[in-house]
Amino acid sequence: MTDAATPLAGWTHTYSGKVRDLYRPEDGADRMLVVASDRVSAFDHVLEPAIPGKGALLTALSLWWFAQLSGADGGRAIPNHLIDGAVPPAEAEGRGMVVQSLDMLPVECVVRGYLTGSGWAEYQQDGTVCGIPLPEGLGNGDRLPEPIFTPAYKAPLGEHDENISFERTVELVGAERAAELRDTSLEIYRRAAAIAEAKGLILADTKFEFGLDADGVLTLADEVLTSDSSRYWDATAWRSGTTPAERMASFDKQIVRDWLAASWDKTGSPPELPSDIVERTAAKYRELLTLLTA
């Protein structure tokens, strides 16, 4: 893995995902440190080089959204994995979060308010997304009649996540939990989309991960509503644009995905990102944080 996890005094490095490094405390306390690196992944590959400052931006965005969803937006408090008052070590300052170690559910909870990406691909083929039938005649980037829950099976490291039906989600986590995942995900999406809209942004789609705490309470984990896990578009450009590219002027990882899709046939290892793509991505991530939180 590129950009190896930094050794941190008092913490043992236990796992690295594509973007985050996980640590356990050496004193055996029941908690975890999640450190967001500057690594960037697309199509399930970690790319070179890293995006400078990205880990800190993702962490700042997640923390801001966790606070909104804890009731700052006037809604009910959604339980999340942060441990109040627990401070990450200085070397991970700005990139680390001390969290409860949860029993993670193997489902990526995707909500789409707009049609694009793998949803658009499935719709063109079958007229559905994750088995949900949609009206005819929709285009890439169109708004859906209402937000839909389109889960994916969280594949083990190295394998590809796969879109699944709600029935498959029920098989994986049980009927009650599946309904809770769907309802909570749709609630968070609606609340977040309203906040984004007030800042001139469209939250086109997003992905949540949930786990269960020691009491079995459904708890929001991982990162939330970041430019890695979500598609954000400029609302004015979406309304006035005519081509999909104009309508989906994005503040997220789409810049990297689009460049990679055009430059690589998905065989062998992916090419290195050119410096202008790295810089544009970093600039868009910074801009998103400013637009949302200013």
Binding site for ligand ATP (CB under 6 A): 17-20, 22, 32, 34, 41, 81, 99-102, 104, 157, 209, 211, 221-222
Q: Are 182 and 149 in contact (CB under 8 A)?
A: yes
Count CA within 13 A, CB hemisphere, residue 10.
10
Q: Nearer Cβ to ligand ATP, position 6 or 41?
A: 41
**Nearer residue to ligand ATP within complex by CB, 55 or 141:** 55
Q: Which of 157, 283 has the CB closer to ligand ATP?
A: 157
CA atoms within 13 A on the CB side of 2: 15
Q: Which is nearer to ligand ATP, 32 or 256 (CB)?
A: 32
Q: With respect to ligand ATP, which residue has the nearer C-beta, 14 or 240?
A: 14
Dihedral sign from CA coordinates of 37, 43, 48, 50: negative
- Least Å distance between CB 19 and ligand ATP? 4
- Least Å distance, CB 54 to ligand ATP, is 12
DSSP letter assigned to residue 71? I
The continuous run of DSSP H or E covering 220 comes out as strand 218-220
Q: Is the CB of 111 or the CB of 138 nearer to ligand ATP?
A: 111
Beta-sheet pairing, 152-153 with 40-42: unpaired
Pick the closer one to ligand ATP by CB: 144 or 152.
152
CA-closest candidate to residue 225, choices 181, 180, 195: 195
Q: How far is the CB of 138 from ligand ATP (least distance, A)?
A: 27
- Residue 148: CB minimum distance to ligand ATP, A: 21
Structure tokens at 65: 């959204």
- For residue 220, the minimal CB distance to ligand ATP (Å) is 9
**Separation of alpha carbons 108 and 110, rounded Å:** 6
Cβ 224 to ligand ATP shortest distance, Å:
10
Count the alpha carbons within 13 Å of 232 in the hemisphere toward its beta carbon. Answer: 27
Least separation in angstroms between residue 101's CB and ligand ATP is 5
Chain position whose Cβ is nearest to ligand ATP: 17
The token pair that represents 149 in the structure block: 């829950």
Provide CB contacts within 8 A for 146, sequence distance 6+: none
Where do we find the tokens 């559910």?
105
